[in-house]
Amino acid sequence: MNRTTDVEFTTRLRAVPTQGAAGRTVLIAGGAGFLGSHLCRQHIDLGARVLCVDNLSTGRMANIALLLDHPSFRFLRHDIVTPFDPGEPVHFIFNMASPASPPKYQIDPIATFETNVIGSENLLKLAERTGARILQASTSEVYGEPEVTPQAEGYRGNVQTMGPRACYDEGKRAAETLFYEFHARRGVDIRVARIFNTYGPNMDPDDGRVVSNFIVQALSGEDLTIYGDGSQTRSFCYVDDLVAGLMTLMYHDEGDIDRPVNLGNPGEFTVRELAEMVLKVTGSRSGLVSRDLPADDPTQRRPDIDRARKLLGWVPKVPLREGLALTAPYFAAELKRNAHVGS
Ligand code: NAD
Ligand code: UDP
């Protein structure tokens, strides 16, 4: 397999043109989750008013605890599958609401599909009513089990309509279609980010995705659970890079900006390589243990980010090893906090 693990980033990150956000109201659906909570904090720091809408199905109040008393921050506990009135003008909407971890989105596949399809439609109608620009957190899962590598936006994907991942993959594909049609027929101002595996602080230690599992296991002295033989690959993006990409996409106005844009780190690693790196970074003496490979687990994943580079001037800056070193202390603190709460 032809893979690239150490990517040379030659383009410098352009300053994120977020002046569009200051003084405006930004609705962040899924704002108490991992990515959404970073967007909430960034927008408060930029001087925006933030309305965080979340049903707390996978999100946590702890992620937004420091924002709750801020005069420009409002939290609304609500499920986006039911339409709602935000009660104030809204200028920008980030649709981050959806479970993202396979074990979480498979708990209630119908709810996952409805969140992505009906929930997205509700937010698109809200955008239409208010004239807000709306960004969809789509996913690399729209490429399914890819037959090409790296995956560029023009690749149509290879996705199952049935099986354990279909509720998420097909829900995200249907949501994209809704976005393009609301744009074409009703003039809604859209952005669509196809996000590849992202990790970092504010992930739930019980999230179930590979980076959180491995770091928590390494820090707890438990064996790291490798699903299958660990030869499947993923490309892991550090959260600060991803959030910079989302902000740049939302507040950028030029080019064919209403078409999908891949956001991810093109460094590609096998799951086994990731496990070994986590052990090194954490200094853990844990071992590796094999577990069954889940059905339909994609064998490879690597973004082609040419479009993001050319359109937005965006490239990720944090290599995997550095991002893991930035993330491990967060999980160590979470484990300590949970042990304290449990004692
Ligand atoms: P997360 O599970 O931490 O956050 C999702 C948030 O959405 C949670 O706070 C959850 O409570 C909320 N939510 C779920 N269903 C809802 C509903 N019906 N109504 C209101 N709120 C609801 O996941 P994340 O990693 O932060 O992902 C955020 C978004 O980005 C998701 O849409 C996900 O599909 C997308 N994405 C993430 C990644 C990644 O690697 N993190 C990759 C691709 C796409
Ligand atoms: N994985 C693993 N051990 C774990 C969790 C996940 O080996 O404890 C594997 C999983 O089978 C997949 C990859 O790591 O091949 C990424 O899984 P994740 O759930 O993070 O996201 P996915 O990209 O599959 O949606």
**pLDDT tens for each residue of 303-315:** 999 999 999 999 9
Q: 18: pLDDT confidence band, cut at 50, 70 and 90?
A: low
Local confidence band at 19 (pLDDT 50, 70, 90 cut-offs)? low
Pocket test for ligand 1, best of 39, 58, 115 (most atoms within 8 A of CB): 58
Name the pLDDT band for 13 (thresholds 50, 70, 90).
Answer: very low
Q: Residue 3 in contact with residue 26, Cβ under 8 Å?
A: no
Mean pLDDT, residues 121-131:
98
Q: Report how far ligand 2's centroid is from the alpha carbon of 99 (Å).
A: 15
60 Cβ partners below 8 Å, 6+ apart?
32, 33, 204
pLDDT at residue 11, as a whole number? 31
Residues 6+ apart with CB under 8 A from 192: 135, 136, 138, 176, 179, 180, 258, 259, 260, 261
The label of the residue with tokens 């090194």 reads 280
Mean per-residue pLDDT of the chain: 94
160-213 pLDDT per residue, tens: 999 999 999 999 999 999 999 999 999 999 999 999 999 999 999 999 999 999
CB 140 within 8 A of CB 264: yes
Q: Which residue has the higher pLDDT, 234 or 19?
A: 234
Output the CA 302–ligand 2 centroid distance in Å.
Answer: 14
How high is the pLDDT of residue 126? 98
- Within 6 A (CB) of ligand 2 lie 101-102, 197, 209-210, 213, 225-227, 232, 234, 271, 294, 297
Q: Which 3 state secondary structure label does DSSP give 42? A: helix
CA–CA separation, 215 and 210 (whole Å): 9
Instruction: Give 223: exposed, middle or buried? Use CB within 10 Å, 0-12, 13-18, 19+.
Output: middle
- Rounded to an integer, the average pLDDT of 69-89 is 97
Q: How far apart are CA 242 and CA 13, in angstroms?
A: 12
Contact between 170 and 138 (Cβ < 8 Å) = no
Mutual angle of helices 210-220 and 320-342, in 10-degree steps? 60
Distance (Å) from CA 244 to ligand 2 centroid: 24
The percent of residues above 90 in pLDDT, for the chain, comes to: 92
Q: Which ligand is nearest to the CA of 168?
A: 1
In angstroms, the first-to-last Cα distance of the chain is 48
User: Which of 35, 271, 273 has the most ligand 2 atoms within 8 A of CB, as the residue to mutate?
Assistant: 271
Cβ neighbours for 129, distance < 8 A, ≥ 6 positions apart: none
Rounded Cα–Cα distance for residues 249 and 265 (Å): 16
In angstroms, rounded to a whole number, what is the distance separating the alpha carbons of residues 122 and 315?
32
- pLDDT value of residue 5: 44
Instruction: Domains for the chain: give ranges and CATH numbers.
Output: 3-202+237-266+298-318 (3.40.50.720)
Contacts of 15 (CB under 8 A, 6+ apart): none
Mutation to probe ligand 1, out of 35, 55, 203 (largest number of atoms < 8 A from CB):
35
Atom index in ligand 1 nearest the CA of residue 138 equals: 44
Residue 341 — pLDDT band, cuts 50, 70, 90?
confident
- Give distance in angstroms: CA of 144 to centre of ligand 1: 18
Among residues 105, 143, 168, 199, the one annotated as catalytic is 168
- Residue 260's SS3 state is strand
| pLDDT of amino acid 10 | 31
- For 121-156, letters b (16+ CB in 10 Å) and e give bbbbebbeebebbbbbbbbbbbbbbbeebbbebebe
> φ and ψ at 49, to 5 degrees?
-95, 135
DSSP state of 33: S
**pLDDT on residue 12:** 33
Residue tagged 């096998």 (tokens): 270
β-partners of residue 27 are 51, 93
pLDDT for 1: 44
Cα–Cα nearest to 171, from 196, 210, 139 = 139
Q: Which DSSP string corresponds to 97-154?
A: -S--SHHHHTTSHHHHHHIIIIIHHHHHHHHHHHT-EEEEEEEGGGGBS-SSSSBPTT
C-beta of residue 247 within 8 angstroms of C-beta of residue 46: no
pLDDT category at 8 given cuts 50, 70, 90 is very low
Does residue 46 have a pLDDT over 90?
A: yes
| pLDDT at residue 16 greater than cutoff 80 | no
Is residue 227 among the annotated active site residues? no
pLDDT band at 7 (very low <50, low <70, confident <90, very high): very low
Rg (CA), the chain: 19
- How far is residue 108 from each of residues 154, 173, 258, measured CA to CA in Å? 31, 18, 31
Higher pLDDT: 104 or 22? It is 104
| Residue list, ligand 1 pocket, CB within 6 Å | 29-30, 32-36, 54-59, 79-81, 96-100, 115, 119, 137, 139, 195, 197-198
